[in-house]
Structure 1
C-alpha cells in the first residue's frame, strides 16, 4: 500500500477478524503494487500477463477504472502517468472491502484508515460519532477541518506528501490549482477516485465535485483557500 494502516474496533469481534483485514490488505498490495515486478499489475503493464489471465479482483478494478475514466471526462485515468497504475481506485476499494468483511464478521463499530482513506462504521462509544481530522496541507501539525460521522467514507488526495504525483491526463503534467481534496460519501472506492479526479482537474474540479450525487467535498487551493460543500459532515465547534 505504501502507507500506514490503522484499525480501531469498538466492539467485540471473533478472534482473528482483525488479522483477516490486514491479510486482505497485504494480498491487495502483492497483487496491485506498481513497485513489485511480480505483482499482477506490474506484469500486466509489462505485457507478460494478459487481462484474461488476471485474477477476478484485477479484472474488477480495471473495469471500474474504465467506468471512472468515462464518468470523469478522462480525468481519472489509470494511465495518466504513462504506465498502468490504478492506485487512485485500489486503496479506497480495498479498504471498503475490508470494512464490509469486518462488518459481516460482527463488527458494527470500527474505523479503518489507510493513509487518509477512512471507512467509518457505527460509533467509537455509545452516542458519540467518529471524528476524523483532515491534515492541513501547509502545516503537518494542524488540521484544516474535522469530519464526523457514523457510517461514512472519507477520502483525501493531496500533493503535500508525495508532491505532484497526480497528473492531468490531458496535458501529461502534474496537476496544479488544488493541493488537497477531501470527498465524503457512502462508498470509499468512489470517494477515493473522485478525490483523485478532482485534484487532476485543478480548480475546475470544484465545480465538478459540486455536481456529484450523494458525495460532499472540501478542497484547499494552492494559494491556501478552503472551500467546503454545504452538506459536508463537519464536526461542530466545541
Structure 2
C-alpha cells in the first residue's frame, strides 16, 4: 500500500490484544501483497491479466471490488476502481485495510483503538475515561501548521481521511479523462464512522472540485468534510463544527 501504519491501542486483556495486534499487522501485510499493482504475482495483477477468475481469488478481493463498485455508484463515477483501463482498486484498499485492522483489535477487547494509515485514521472507543480521540488536520498551505483538530467526543467510531496534493503531488486522477484531476482544491478531509468510505469520499470529492463536492458531501449521511482551495479558502459541511475542538 506504499505507506506506514501505526497503532495506538488501549485497554483489554494484554494477551488477547497482543495476539490481535499480530493478526492485524499480518492482515495488513497480506492485503499489501494481495492488492499490489507493482507485483506481477499479486492476485490483483493476475486477475487483471485474466490468469485468475474472481472466484479463484481470496474472498477479500471480491469484497474490495464490491465496495469499490458501490463507491463508484454513490459518487456517480468520480471514484473508480480502474486506472487507464486497468483494474486498480488501490484507492479503497488502504482505508478498508486500516479499518479492518482496527476492528480486529476492538473485537479482541481493546477499549480504545487508533489505527493510522499514512495519515488516514480509524478511531474506535476512547483512549481513556472522559478523554476522546483527537486528530490534527495538516494545513497544506502552511507546512507544520494545522487547519483543524477533529474530536471523536460522543462517537464510538470515527474516521478522518484526507486527499490532496500536498504530500504526493498530482496523484488523484479524474476518472473521465484518466489524467490528474484539474481542481480548485488543495485538500479535502472527510469525517465519517468508516475509514473505508471516508477515504473513498475524500478522493472523489477532490476530483469533483469544491462547488460540486460540497453539495454532494452534504447529501451523504453521517459524513462531514473540510475543503481547502488553492486560493486559501476554507469550506465545510454544515455539521463539521460539531467535530471540531
Query: What are the superposed Cα offsets for residues 80-122 of structure 1, whole Å, 9 maximum, x if unpaired?
Result: 4443221121111111111111111011212111012211122
Bigger Cα displacement from structure 2, 210-219 vs 73-82: 73-82
Q: Residue 131 of structure 1 contacts residue 235 of structure 1 at CA under 8 Å; is this kept in 2?
A: no
Distance (whole Å) between structure 1 residues aligned to residue 229 and residue 33 of structure 2: 34
Q: Which runs of 5+ in 2 are unaligned?
A: none
Residue 166 (structure 1) shift: 1.0
Q: Residue 5 of structure 2 contacts residue 117 of structure 2 at CA under 8 Å; is this kept in 1?
A: yes
Residue 47 (structure 1) shift: 2.7
1:140 aligns with 2:148: no
Q: For 1:150-229, what aligned pairs fall within 5 Å after superposition? A: 150=155, 151-175=157-181, 176-203=183-210, 204-229=212-237
Q: Which runs of 5+ in 1 are unaligned?
A: none
1:4 aligns with 2:12: no
Aligned to 1:21, which of 1, 17, 24?
24
In the alignment, what sits opposite 1:89?
92
Distance (whole Å) between structure 2 residues aligned to residue 68 and residue 166 of structure 1: 16
Aligned residues: 236
Q: Residue 81 of structure 1 contacts residue 167 of structure 1 at CA under 8 Å; is this kept in 2?
A: no
Distance (whole Å) between structure 2 residues aligned to residue 97 and residue 72 of structure 1: 23
Residue 194 (structure 1) shift: 0.9
1:131 aligns with 2:137: no
Bigger Cα displacement from structure 2, 48-57 vs 70-79: 48-57
SS in 2 for 1:99: helix
Normalising by structure 1, report the TM-score: 0.93
